[in-house]
Amino acid sequence: MDFHLNTLKGACSCGQEHPIYVEDIILEAGCLNRLPEIIGNSSLAERKIYGIVCDTNTYGVCGKRVSELFPDASVVCMPAENLHADEKGVALLESMLQDAGRPFDLLLAVGSGTVHDLTRYVGYQKEIPFVSVPTAASVDGFVSTVAAMTWYGFKKSLIAASPVLVVADSEIISRAPYRLTASGVSDLLGKYTALLDWKIAHLVMGEHICERICQLEEEALLAVRESLSGLKDGQTGAYERLMYALLLSGIAMQMMGNSRPASGAEHHFSHLWEMHVINEPIDAYHGEKVGVGLLNCCTIYYSLADAIENNRVRIRPSSGIETDLLDRCLPKELADDMKKENTPYPLDAIDPAQLEAKLPVIAELIRTLPTPEEVYNLLREAGAPALMEEIGLDSKLTALSAALAPYIRSRLTLLKLTKLFDIDKKGNII
Ligand SMILES: [Zn+2]
Ligand SMILES: [Zn+2]
């Protein structure tokens, strides 16, 4: 599949120059066998000392084959159990690379999200470029320039490197455990609210937005919906569509220089639950948490649209960060981190009268989202969790999650904006 990278990058009508760091993306059945040729034809051709980074799961499905293609390479195989993109995973990979005792000049990340985030972060620190060999269509972060890490308990996006090449073999990807695939679908469906949040931040605060990048995400959403029926039957073409969508979303983030096009309030729910501050640790993949966050967001957003259209919403001036809420619910260090992240507090800059005048447009934008029922059905069709209980969370935590999630990032989302909304529950004008 061709990503037309050359037509996407460069000067744009939005006034920005969009960079794309990944040199080439190969997505086709059987392309793994061409890996030596693909690297040989790229800017990495002169590099000779390879480290194949995988885990004990991905070694069997793909790492071994990669090591046969490069007999001189060292295999750095991390134990899959309890492997996470966190400070412990980073220390483990650093020590394993050290123990291999070779001056690596190229890393090959063979795996899904965690292997990629660890490789991209450690590779960036050591100034070693890497090639991405995804083994599952599980996340949209393969070409990300930031590593999504839990760093000493706090969810952070740390600066890291994009892969120079992505070699995605759809035959391998179609054989991944189905739960990983469903998780990739959920991560992608999260773009519905991510895009809406971006459009609303543009409308309310004049945040920069790019039509070309929005269109890429919308194309990705179409592609994922088209892929749904074929995924469960294991159709290679459907996996290729899904992987295309995920990589397209990753390219959108590269072009923007941050995750704004692909991550809004639905991701903030996911990040909050990953920090285990209001819930016990849960055994759910990134995309699964995003899917549940997406349904929460759509439900809240649609009830907002109803309230706006029934003239039940008034805007109050910002009363600043809810320090009481943060201090009550979070360990001191995390509460302080979130206050810092939100200073200056974006809601302080919003004029209540101006926001009130924009409410009808906000309601119209919300109505462009799939309804909560449609989102529920899409997640069901994908075989992905949709409800809090299905990922091991008590549904009683929904309201508290919705109150805390907007503090995960300073980024303005509609969920954050609702902190300025006075909603009359009885239908009377306040
Ligand atoms: Zn995501
Ligand atoms: Zn643009």
Q: Which ligand is nearest to the CA of 15?
A: 2
Distance from residue 138's CA to the centre of ligand 1 (Å): 9
Ligand with minimal distance to 186 CA? 1
What is the CA(252)–ligand 2 centre distance, in A?
10
For the chain, the structural domain boundaries read: 5-176, 203-423
Instruction: Specify the CATH architecture of the domain 5-176.
Output: 3-Layer(aba) Sandwich (3.40)
Q: What DSSP string describes 366-429?
A: HTTSPPHHHHHHHHHHHT---SGGGGT--GGGHHHHHHHGGGSSSS--HHHHGGGEEE-TTS--
Question: Between β-strands 10-11 and 17-18, what pairing exists: parallel, antiparallel or unpaired?
Answer: antiparallel
Closest ligand relative to 194 C-alpha: 1
Predicted local confidence at residue 426, as pLDDT: 63
Q: How far apart are the CA of 92 and the centre of ligand 2, in A?
A: 39
Residues of the chain under the 70 pLDDT cut: 426-430
How far apart are the CA of 121 and the centre of ligand 2, in A? 27
Q: Which residues have beta carbons under 5 A from ligand 2 (an ion)?
A: 12, 14, 210, 212
| pTM of the complete model | 0.94
pLDDT confidence of residue 424? 85
| Distance from residue 213's CA to the centre of ligand 2 (Å) | 6
3-state secondary structure at position 213 = helix
Ligand 2 centre and the CA of 142: distance in Å?
Answer: 21
Q: Which ligand is nearest to the CA of 211?
A: 2
> How far away, in angstroms, is 77 Cα from ligand 2 center?
40
15-35 b/e (C-beta count within 10 Å ≥ 16 → b): ebebebebbebbbeeebbebb
Ligand nearest to the CA of 255: 2
Show the tokens assigned to 78. 């991390």
User: Could you tell me the distance, in angstroms and rounded to a whole number, from the CA of residue 117 to the centre of ligand 1?
Assistant: 12
Nearest bound ligand to the CA of residue 288: 1
Cβ proximity of 145 and 259 under 8 Å: no
Tokens of 55: 């885990």
Distance 267 CA to ligand 1 centre (A): 6
Closest listed ligand to the CA of 263? 1
- What backbone phi and psi angles, to 5 degrees, belong to 285? -75, 160
- Given CATH 1.20.1090, say whether it is the number of domain 203-423: yes
How far, in Å, is the centroid of ligand 1 from the Cα of 183? 10
What's the CA-to-centroid distance between 411 and ligand 2, angstroms?
Answer: 19
Tell me the CA–centroid distance for residue 256 and ligand 2, in Å.
8
pLDDT of residue 430: 44
Provide the sign of the torsion angle of the four alpha carbons 160, 141, 43, 118, taken in this order. positive
CA of 119 to the centre of ligand 1 (A): 18
- Residue 364 CA to ligand 2 center (angstroms) comes to 24
CA of 259 to the centre of ligand 2 (A): 14
Residues 51 and 107 sit within 8 Å (Cβ to Cβ):
yes
Q: Which two tokens stand for residue 354?
A: 């101006």
Q: How far is the CA of 250 from the centre of ligand 1 (A)?
A: 10
16 C-alpha to ligand 2 centroid (Å): 6
| Alpha carbon of 399 to ligand 1 centroid (Å) | 22
Ligand closest in space to the Cα of 189? 1
**From ligand 2's centre to the CA of 257, what distance in Å?**
11
